[in-house]
Chain A
């Protein structure tokens, strides 16, 4: 009886899968901000989180497929983590900063979420655990050090997984002001 149920369950799963196949290219893109959070939540569950510099983008794509299967990750969370690893590996090209007029930066509190800062850092008591808690960060580090860490993360630690998001001075000012508000 149980054997027949097993075969039936297998056929039902296979049938539903074949009936609902998305075509290639239909999958939504990954989100860097969400990817930082899922990287913190998932990648240290079984093993220590591996730095993004270990692999190139195409290799991370293959690794993330293997990890999606091994860890049972939802597909979108796997794509978000992949986007975060790609962003960590690749600072934005200079071309992306070539604009006629610099857009007004978002509020600092909004950027903390949009850029995935809380994915790895605990800020104001909430956030990830794989990076330092930013409570009291201005007592531990001076503003110049923090500014360098945000704009050039690998200058302090070449193996850091913290991405270089290409933030300008005005954006960093807004983030620092938001961090002061949480400290």
Chain B
């Protein structure tokens, strides 16, 4: 018994030394699982932390990119926009329909001294020109003239009022009252901001001229085309109007009165520019005046310019029962052609344009001769300050001095 007990105790002791008891073998397995679970959880948490870091980094980069795009959009409004679309919209905006009425015109303020005990006076004139664009091809143009008579009362005249239809590139049809296309001074040069002298050439003077600045009521066809190259062209105008009313002291007069004898005046002008700086023109009109029967008007004009020098000349002849004719020649030299400074004394010199004009009239009525010298000082391309001195002989016109500011707008 003792021997058996000793054997059993020895066996138990040996077992305890060799392996755990069934009770202690269960706890280490649970710890391991727990540790494994904890390790796994830790890995997962770390992965999540890493992922969160990457997300935050991406978010930061995206925010930087958005800021960069916003800055780019401020500096370059075209980014991301179709270029052709924006070009078209800009062009449409630039040429969008605005008012179809446009006001231009000219004016003058002058001091006029008739020498040799004649009167001296300040004078003013205002000529607004209304342009109304009905359509691209249909325009209305009208000019009023406001001036003071000898009594200081305001006189208002309708200088012209036409409706113009631009039928083709070479033909415009006009109806209404228009500046008669006879020579060029009347229809083109007489406005105060264009005429380099403060007075009209002698052939257009109310005292002892051939005609005045002609205007009449009727219909006209006009236009121009290139000839053998873009450097050469011709222009034309043909018209039917009411015609003259008569002549006084040899000067043919047009007062735009109704045509009582059903005999319209017919006339025209043909201009030829073989080179850009040379123009010659021929004008004519025939009709029957209200008071004095048939008349014919004949005219010729010439213009040439080179290196700042300009030469202009016109001839007029009025054939009634008493013929009258005359001419003028005008030369001008634009110092601005050679003086490019815009400030200082040289700048002042560059704005000056000395002018000299010679003319005479003869035939029925008093014969006149005139020499005029002048200086146009261009305050602006459409604002000349003009000094003009006329030496007149023959007729009833004394020598005259003018100081005039012309203004074109």
Residues of chain A whose beta carbon lies under 8 Å from any beta carbon of chain B: 2-3, 5-7, 9-10, 13-14, 16-18, 20-22, 24, 27, 34, 37-38, 41-42, 44-51, 56-59, 61-63, 65-66, 68-77, 86, 90, 93-96, 98-99, 129, 132, 157
Contacts and interface: CB of A to CB of B under 8 A. Distances in A.
A75 B170 contact: yes
Contact of A62 (B102, B240, B271): B102
A21 B264 contact: no
B279 interface: yes
A157 B382 contact: no
- Chain A at the B interface: SS class: helix
A5 B284 CA distance: 15
Given A71-B188, A72-B235, A13 B102 contact: no
Given A13-B238, A58-B98, A70-B187, A22 B276 contact: no
B169 A74 contact: yes
A42 to B, nearest CB: 8
B276 A41 contact: yes
B168 interface: yes
Contacts of B65: none
Contacts of A65: 131, 133, 139, 164, 166
Interface of B: 76, 78, 81, 83, 86-87, 90, 94-100, 102, 104, 131, 133, 135-137, 139, 141, 164, 166-174, 184, 187-189, 193-194, 219, 221-226, 230-231, 233, 235-238, 240, 263-264, 266, 271, 276-277, 279, 286, 303, 305, 307, 337, 340, 342, 378, 381-382, 408
Contacts of A95: 78, 81, 83, 86-87, 90
Contact of B266 (A3, A13, A49, A57): A3
Given A17-B167, A47-B193, A69-B222, 12 more contacts: A14-B173, A44-B305, A46-B184, A48-B381, A59-B102, A62-B100, A65-B166, A66-B141, A69-B139, A70-B187, A77-B226, A98-B78
The winner among A16, A27, A95 for most chain B CB atoms within 10 A is A95
Contact of B240 (A10, A21, A70, A90): A10
Contact of B382 (A50, A70, A71, A129): A50
Given A50-B382, A65-B133, A70 B188 contact: yes
B168 A22 contact: yes
Contacts of A41: 231, 276-277
Contact of A46 (B76, B133, B194): B194
A57 B94 CA distance: 7
